[in-house]
Structure 1
Amino acid sequence: MAKTIFITGASRGLGRIWAEAFLSEGDQVIVAVRNTDSLQALVEKYPSHLLVLKLDVTDKKAAFEAIKTAKAHFGKIDVLINNAGYGHFGAIEELNEQEIREQFETNVFGLLWLTQAVIPIMREQNSGHIIQVSSALGLVAFPTLGIYSASKFAVEAISESLSSEVSGFGIKVTIVEPNGYLTEFNTSSGVQSEPISLYDGVRTALNESNHLEDWGVPEATAEAMLKLVNSENPPLRLILGKAGLQWIKYTYAERMKTWEEWQDVSIAAHGK
């Protein structure tokens, strides 16, 4: 059955690929983006199935209005995909206050505003699926990507809590956790802090460990997203990419090892 899907950050990259995949399947798609110019060809190809809205997700009032406009246009919203976001590169000492706030304004607060706006609609429908695009780096953290990871760790916590809060209303929640893909994430769409030369060695080590095979093919994610939005029982978490899966398995095994080594201290700290 065709669905009505609202997706942010779909003017390029993974979001654009997913929007095209949904449209090709006959779904109705609302694309909310900062720059609408790049979507003209899609509008001409799918004039009755695509609604393009200009939106800066950090604008709370505009986010609520966009959801309202989408509901009025198509009559329902079955799926919300919070995909808008970007990566900020910089060691913790290199980050300035404005950079930190902007990273959270987009990756966390923008996601929150759209989530809050769509819940009443889905609650009234007694159905809906909220898909929050996190990252493999929302479960593990790499050097010089700490503030990006922090924003995605926040998305993980918000979304896990949300899933329990809204399940009684027929609303499902999935956190999508891609590893790196060959998009513009670490080039034109990313932001770099003013570097401090003392951290050049850290950057070099990270780059040297960054192998081409660790980066996924963006188009390969489309089938996974189609399966996800059409699943009757979608998972709370879905990792995209084999590299991310290995990072996460290794990191959680190491965490368990440490916790178990220190469990006597942990238990004693309980006090009774």
Structure 2
Amino acid sequence: MTKVWFITGASRGLGRAFTEAALAGGDRVVAAARNVKPLEDLAEEHRGRLVPLTLDVSDRHDVFDAVKRATAAFGRLDVVVNNAGGMLYGMVEEATEEQVRAHMDVNFFGAVWVAQAVVPHLRAQGGGRLLQVTSMGNGGGMATVGFYGAGKAALDSVSEALAMEVEGFGIKVTIVQMGGYNTGLFTAGTTNTAPQPPYEALRAEMEAMWGDAVAPAPETAAPAIMELARLPDPPRRLIIGSQSFDHVLEMDRAQADLYRSWEHLSRTAPG
């Protein structure tokens, strides 16, 4: 049976790659984005199987309305990919209140609104898949991208709770921990803080660390997502990317080593 996908942030990057892969597999897609103009070529090529949908995920009312229209388009939703997001690049001290709130409105609250909107539809039809796109580095913060990590970490935690809450309805939630892909996140999807002089040296160090290496193309991640959507019993979380898998295990080992090195102090307190 063909599946019906609802993908947010579908106009570029990973969202676009997942949309193209689902269509290539014979499925139908409701592709949501703030600007759907880049999807016009796909809509023309896959007439009747792709419905572009203008959506600002930070607007909760808009999200619920869009999900109703998405469900009506093909009569059901089988796979929901909560992918929309952006980057706030800069030091914590540099970020304005407006920048932080706008970032979290999309990367965290927007994903929550989508989840809240789709769960009743998935429950009513007896089940479905919800893929929550987070990051392979959401277990800890890193200079210059702290707010991005914070939003993804918050979504990760909420998604764990959501998975437990909806599993009894036949809804499977998977936290998709994406590795680094050439999605344009650091260009078209980035809001930059105003640099402050005390952080010049650290900023240069971080930019050198990011380096000039070209990340893999988004479409190289799509086969894993397609396979994930087909699994009868999908995992609660999945790392996407071979190098990212190694990095996550390394970070987990380092965290465990840190805990063990201070075990003596931790055990001085009851509880």
TM-score bracket for the superposition, by shorter chain length: over 0.9
For residue 28 of structure 1, what is the aligned residue in structure 2?
28
For residue 15 of structure 1, what is the aligned residue in structure 2?
15
8 Å Cα contact 1:214-1:243 kept in structure 2: no
For residue 102 of structure 1, what is the aligned residue in structure 2?
102
Matched, 1:128 2:135: no
For residue 72 of structure 1, what is the aligned residue in structure 2?
72
8 Å Cα contact 1:183-1:218 kept in structure 2: yes
For residue 191 of structure 1, what is the aligned residue in structure 2?
191
Measure, in 1, the Cα distance between the counterparts of 2:231 and 2:86.
Answer: 28
For 1:14-60, what per-residue CA distance to the aligned partner results, in whole angstroms no more than 9, with x for missing partners? 11011011011111100111111111111111111111111101111
Measure, in 2, the Cα distance between the counterparts of 1:206 and 1:216.
Answer: 20
For 1:134-158, what per-residue CA distance to the aligned partner results, in whole angstroms no more than 9, with x for missing partners? 1123123221100110000001001
Matched, 1:205 2:221: no
8 Å Cα contact 1:132-1:175 kept in structure 2: yes
For 1:65-84, what per-residue CA distance to the aligned partner results, in whole angstroms no more than 9, with x for missing partners? 11111111211111110110
Alignment-mate amino acid for residue 133 of structure 1: V
8 Å Cα contact 1:29-1:51 kept in structure 2: yes
For residue 226 of structure 1, what is the aligned residue in structure 2?
226
Q: Kindly state the Cα deviation for residue 213 of structure 1 after the two structures are TM-superposed.
A: 5.1
Alignment-mate amino acid for residue 224 of structure 2: A
Measure, in 1, the Cα distance between the counterparts of 2:78 and 2:123.
Answer: 11
8 Å Cα contact 2:182-2:214 kept in structure 1: no
8 Å Cα contact 1:78-1:129 kept in structure 2: yes
For residue 243 of structure 1, what is the aligned residue in structure 2?
243
TM-score for the superposition, normalised by structure 1: 0.95
Alignment-mate amino acid for residue 126 of structure 1: G
Single out whichever of 104-113 and 194-203 deviates more from structure 2. Answer: 194-203
Measure, in 1, the Cα distance between the counterparts of 2:213 and 2:245.
Answer: 14
Percent of pairs with identical residues? 39
For residue 112 of structure 1, what is the aligned residue in structure 2?
112
What RMSD in Å do the two structures reach over aligned CA positions?
A: 1.4
Matched, 1:146 2:146: yes
For residue 3 of structure 1, what is the aligned residue in structure 2?
3
Measure, in 2, the Cα distance between the counterparts of 1:214 and 1:152.
Answer: 23
Matched, 1:49 2:59: no
Alignment-mate amino acid for residue 241 of structure 1: G
8 Å Cα contact 1:104-1:151 kept in structure 2: yes
Alignment-mate amino acid for residue 53 of structure 1: L
For residue 169 of structure 1, what is the aligned residue in structure 2?
169
Measure, in 1, the Cα distance between the counterparts of 2:213 and 2:140.
Answer: 19
8 Å Cα contact 1:180-1:214 kept in structure 2: no
* Residue ranges of structure 2 left out of the alignment (5+ in a row): none
